[in-house]
Amino acid sequence: MPHGDKAIGVKAEDAQEFPKDLTIPKLFHQQAKRYGKDRVAMREKEFGIWRPITWQDYLDNVKYLALGLIKLGLQEGDKVAMIGDNRPEGLMAEMAALCARGVGVWLFQDCLMDEVRYIIDHSDAKFVFGEGQEEVDKTLSIIKDCPKLKKIIWDDPKGLRQYHQECLISLRDVQDLGRELEKEKPHLFEELINKGHGEEIALLFYTSGTTALPKGALLSHHNMLSMGKHLMEVDPCQDSDDYVSYLPFAWIGEQMMSISCGLQMGYTLNFPEAPETAQANIREIGPHVMFAPPRMYEQMTRTVQVKYLDATWLKRTFYQFATWVGYRVADMKFAKKPVPFYWQALHGLVYATVQKKLKDNLGMSRVRNAYTGGAAMGPDHFRFFHSLGVNLKQIYGQTEVAGISVVHRRGDIKFDTVGTPIPGTEVRINQDGEILTRSPSVFQGYYKNPEATAKTLIDGWLYSGDKGFIDDDGHLVVFDRTKDVFTLKDGRPFAPQYLETRLKFSPYIKDGWVIGDKRDYLSAVMCIDYAVVSNWADQRKLNYTSYQELSQMPEVYDLVEKQIRQANKDLPDLAKVRKFTNLYKEFDADDDELTRTRKLRRAFVEKRYKEIVDALYTQNDSVHIDTLIKYEDGRQAHIVTDMRIVSIAN
């Protein structure tokens, strides 16, 4: 057992017992039979109309797809990969793979060719479900390098008329094969479902990999369902609730809400018409529960701030007053102090006149619980949403615990913590300050990687690789990834992402990369938000032709410096940014600078931009850049520019 000063949580054996033989297919089958044609399981917006899919429709589609996979040669334990946008067909493909006793493997929709090749080959995927032409093209280009891959199953026929490769088959044709098999073996589908056990592997989930190749985490049915059940014990949902599924299924957070919780509660999943319309579609649905990484909430905040900047003087004045009142009331609740009646009356007034409409515009008018996880969120964003009356909670978890292990409780929210463990989860801090977790949701190990498994799973405890501590109220405080924690000049540890989240509260800042481990001062490489800053520049009649040119304008440097000074406020001198430069481009996952969930690959960018980092720690006032940028379609752009280096005095 690990050693540590404190431990929090409830042991698995002391929590409410959860059946070990329950599987995702068994639960799916039970819910589909329970609700049948009377309840809507999913909706998808298509051609401007919300198309309902009943539980019976869901069951029928999954059944024939699963039997079709069996007819094509799927055997127990075979891997089935999926790639595409969030659509009912994607979830049906995943459920069909599990019902046929296969293992699901999701890929991010925007994966590049090398990533697709690595995951499909490493996972030994036998079948790939691709949404349409783009996914088919990606898979066809790597099929020769993936000897286990037998069939590519497509759904959307657009652009595929001239494709006649033998490995291709449509989703409808697979279902037709399933109908044929059902005539031969009418009870096979139920037999396959009843044969399953909770300890069997359900998903092979690839981590984002901030430093190396992604690792495949093996998650059992019991891992997924026990986590969902325990989260729902903290924040129960109802089968009449709506949830909007717009985050990639390749992210464990979306699986957590759509599968682990969604199946158990029976709430309706709603799929946007396209990723670009997700925010508008969220407003149309008005979900009761939301889950998103910080970048989504940061974008919502930025949207409000931009509208504020463009509003009339009178509207800005009303908004400022409403925000002031909202923040005061939120701070009282954070401090667990009673809210005096006159503040309650003021808050009711500003809610009715300003905040209610604002919440509706953000699609949060009916939200009971909103969660964020996957990375740290700054206190400014937390206070902003709570000032609107949105019950935003931080969670802590990772792929290796099937999504979540710690969450804030209603009325006990501290924005510098991630809350307390969900039922059945124990958390300890070892002598090195590393966060350790033990629960029924801890994964089974890494696929084909016993060395990494042995380092991560020790005596039933998951070694997270995160540094943190437990505060006096029993809340877990996550400091940062162990490898990312800085040592300041005076020897104190410092988490750079804390300052980076403060920087991103500005509507003008898209990303900030803070540097300074064991150096004399902190510096930063900034990425402006092109849409917001270009609007700001247009209003001032500044001329520019590109992101590169706009980012290097003296007026933009002055603007960014102002935002950094604001973020520096109230920080110790050694924890303030003293020098910065504006990068000539945004950080991009396609350039390996970010993971697919937009986490910064610090080691990679430090190596790529070594010349810039070195210049920030010299007396130079600029750094010359002569480089090539490669676009996703293969085009290249030659960048030649001088990036200014600005010093910020006290």
State the DSSP string of 83-144.
ESSS-HHHHHHHHHHHHTT-EEEEE-TT--HHHHHHHHHHHTEEEEEE-SHHHHHHHHHHGG
**Residue 399 domain-assigned (yes or no):** no
Alpha carbon separation from 380 to 388, 500, 574 (Å, rounded): 13, 12, 21
Provide the pLDDT confidence category of residue 128 given band limits of 50, 70 and 90: very high
Signed CA dihedral, 31, 35, 37, 42: sign only? negative
DSSP 512: E
**Residue 616 domain-assigned (yes or no):** yes
Say if residue 378's pLDDT is above 60.
yes
Of residues 353 and 591, which shows the higher confidence score?
353
Enter the pTM of the model: 0.85
Terminal alpha carbon distance of the chain: 48
Provide the pLDDT confidence category of residue 571 given band limits of 50, 70 and 90: confident
Provide the pLDDT confidence category of residue 16 given band limits of 50, 70 and 90: low
pLDDT at 423: 94
Say if residue 255's pLDDT is above 90.
yes
Say if residue 4's pLDDT is above 70.
no
Q: Average of pLDDT values for 392-412?
A: 92
**Residue 412 domain-assigned (yes or no):** no
Provide the pLDDT confidence category of residue 228 given band limits of 50, 70 and 90: very high
The residue with tokens 């509003």 is 311
**Residue 278 domain-assigned (yes or no):** no
DSSP 6: -
pLDDT at 49: 93
pLDDT at 176: 97
Measured CA to CA, the distance from residue 590 to residue 250 in angstroms comes to 16
Provide the pLDDT confidence category of residue 15 given band limits of 50, 70 and 90: low
The tokens for 201 are 């592997």
* pLDDT (tens digit per residue) in 511-525: 999 999 999 999 999
Phi, psi of 146 (to 5 degrees): -125, 85
pLDDT at 5: 56
* Of 130, 123, 223, 225, residue with least CA distance to 171: 130
Alpha carbon separation from 457 to 225, 424, 461 (Å, rounded): 20, 18, 6
pLDDT at 1: 43
Provide the pLDDT confidence category of residue 375 given band limits of 50, 70 and 90: confident
* pLDDT (tens digit per residue) in 452-475: 999 999 999 999 988 889 998 999
Measured CA to CA, the distance from residue 587 to residue 595 in angstroms comes to 10
- Vertex 37, ends 36 and 38: CA angle to 5°? 95
Measured CA to CA, the distance from residue 264 to residue 241 in angstroms comes to 12
- Final residue of a structural domain among 270, 286, 316: 270
**Residue 635 domain-assigned (yes or no):** yes
Say if residues 152 and 140 touch (Cβ distance below 8 Å): yes
Say if residue 43's pLDDT is above 90.
yes
The tokens for 181 are 């098999």
- Final residue of a structural domain among 239, 270, 301: 270
SS3 (DSSP) at 308: helix
Say if residue 402's pLDDT is above 80.
yes
Alpha carbon separation from 352 to 300, 330, 357, 366 (Å, rounded): 20, 16, 8, 15
Angle at which helices 55-72 and 188-195 cross, to 10°: 90
Burial of 75 (C-beta count, 10 Å sphere; 0-12/13-18/19+): exposed
Domain range for 162 is: 8-270
**Residue 86 domain-assigned (yes or no):** yes
| Residues of the chain above pLDDT 70, percent | 95
Task: Tell me the CATH number at 251.
Answer: 3.40.50.12780
pLDDT at 630: 65
pLDDT at 32: 97
- CB-based contacts of 201, cutoff 8 Å, min separation 6: 77, 103, 218, 219, 220, 444
Q: Average of pLDDT values for 325-343?
A: 92
Provide the pLDDT confidence category of residue 3 given band limits of 50, 70 and 90: very low
Provide the number of structural domains found in the chain: 2
pLDDT at 141: 93
Q: Average of pLDDT values for 256-261?
A: 94
Q: Average of pLDDT values for 38-58?
A: 95
**Residue 638 domain-assigned (yes or no):** yes
**Residue 408 domain-assigned (yes or no):** no
Measured CA to CA, the distance from residue 136 to residue 152 in angstroms comes to 7
Which region among 10-14, 56-60, 192-196, 225-229 has the lowest average model confidence (pLDDT)? 10-14
Measured CA to CA, the distance from residue 287 to residue 28 in angstroms comes to 22
pLDDT at 111: 82
Task: Tell me the CATH number at 490.
Answer: 3.30.300.30
Say if residue 537's pLDDT is above 90.
yes
Which region among 231-235, 352-356, 375-379 has the lowest average model confidence (pLDDT)? 375-379
Q: Average of pLDDT values for 252-273?
A: 94
Mean pLDDT across the chain: 90
Measured CA to CA, the distance from residue 205 to residue 492 in angstroms comes to 36
- Final residue of a structural domain among 213, 248, 270: 270
Say if residue 2's pLDDT is above 50.
no
Q: Average of pLDDT values for 611-626?
A: 90
Say if residues 418 and 475 touch (Cβ distance below 8 Å): yes
Alpha carbon separation from 318 to 2, 16, 315 (Å, rounded): 54, 49, 5
